[in-house]
Amino acid sequence: MSSNFCSKPVDVSKFGIIYAGAQKNVGPSGVTIVIIRKDLIGNAQPVTPVMLDYKIHDENKSLYNTPPCYGIYMCGLVFEDLLEQGGLVEIEKKNKRKADILYNAIDESKGFYRCPVEKSVRSLMNVPFTLEKAELEAEFVKEAAKEKMVQLKGHRSVGGMRASIYNAMPLAGVEKLVAFMKEFQAKHALESWFTNWWNTRQSEIFLNDIQEKSILKEFLDLEELLRLDEMIKEYPETHLQKPRIEIYKETIQLIKMHNEDCIHTILHFSTNMGTSFLYFTI
């Protein structure tokens, strides 16, 4: 056992031997706790190293070698504290509450955060999770560090993030992490929504622009014909040097050039106005 040792009650009678590291919930690294059934002591094979022959440790009351005194002393202080809190039954309740808050935040994020572990076997001590967009994970770790929440980067073999909420982690620490996660999600969800909205609106604007140009074209075609008629009326038939069709073509071309300049000016002005308004509203 390692991370889960002393995080909850364990029926030791169901185990032949429990080999536990102290460095997660009990004390400094370097201390190992072994709980072994008495009937298993004294059955070591001849090739078993002395330090793994528990008969020797039992006969010497765990003092066969020089023990890590300070580490054991620290473990004793932790055990006293656990008892003052109500023992492992109460410790488990606190750990479940912390884990539930964090797992609920992940599960209720609508996929923004994801836990790769099946619910029935999730750890109360280490909560791994990933982001829907993996490219945001480095930013998540960096921004969390600014809020003095460190060591959230996931294990190198798994990736993502990992929140270690051992016995020593207070409820307030988990609540702070959850608040940060929700804020981070809201920030990037808004960016995603705005990007999607902008892309959609751009399409709508583009379609409206096409519709407007179509209407303008029909209007200008009519306007061109009216102007042509007015120009022709001003000249007597004898003064026309070219057939009417030639005059019509040249006149239409001149009018189109004039109208296109007007259209471009209007579109340029309206686009700049729209952009200015967009930046103002952001």
SS (H, E, C) 79-139: HHHHHHCCHHHHHHHHHHHHHHHHHHHHHCCCCCEECCCCHHHCCCCEEEEEECCHHHHHH
* Residue pair 144/131 in contact by the 8 Å Cβ criterion: no
Nearest to 161 by CA among 171, 169, 170, 178: 178
CATH number for the domain formed by residue range(s) 90-184: 3.90.1150.10
* Residue pair 232/244 in contact by the 8 Å Cβ criterion: yes
* Residue pair 211/134 in contact by the 8 Å Cβ criterion: no
Tokens representing 278 are 């967009």
* Residue pair 6/21 in contact by the 8 Å Cβ criterion: no
Rg (CA), the chain: 39
Predicted local confidence at residue 30, as pLDDT: 87
Query: What's the CA angle centered on 162, arms 103 and 5, to 5 degrees?
Result: 85
Which pLDDT tens digits describe the chain residue by residue (282 residues)? 888 999 999 999 999 999 998 899 999 988 999 999 999 999 999 999 998 899 999 999 999 988 899 999 999 999 999 999 999 999 999 999 999 999 999 999 999 999 999 999 999 999 999 999 989 999 999 999 999 999 999 887 778 999 999 999 999 999 999 999 999 998 887 665 556 656 665 555 444 555 555 655 665 665 566 566 666 555 555 554 555 555 556 555 655 555 555 555 444 444 444 433 333 333
The pTM assigned to this predicted structure is 0.66
Predicted local confidence at residue 229, as pLDDT: 60
Cα–Cα distance, 129 to 15 (Å, whole number): 31
- Residue entry with tokens 């001849």: 46
Tens digit of each residue's pLDDT (9 = 90 or more) over 4-19: 999 999 999 999 999 9
Q: DSSP letters of 35-78?
A: EE-GGGTT---TTS-GGG-HHHHHHTTT-SS---HHHHHHHHHH
Tens digit of each residue's pLDDT (9 = 90 or more) over 212-224: 556 556 656 655 6
Predicted local confidence at residue 274, as pLDDT: 40
Domain ranges of the chain: 12-85, 90-184
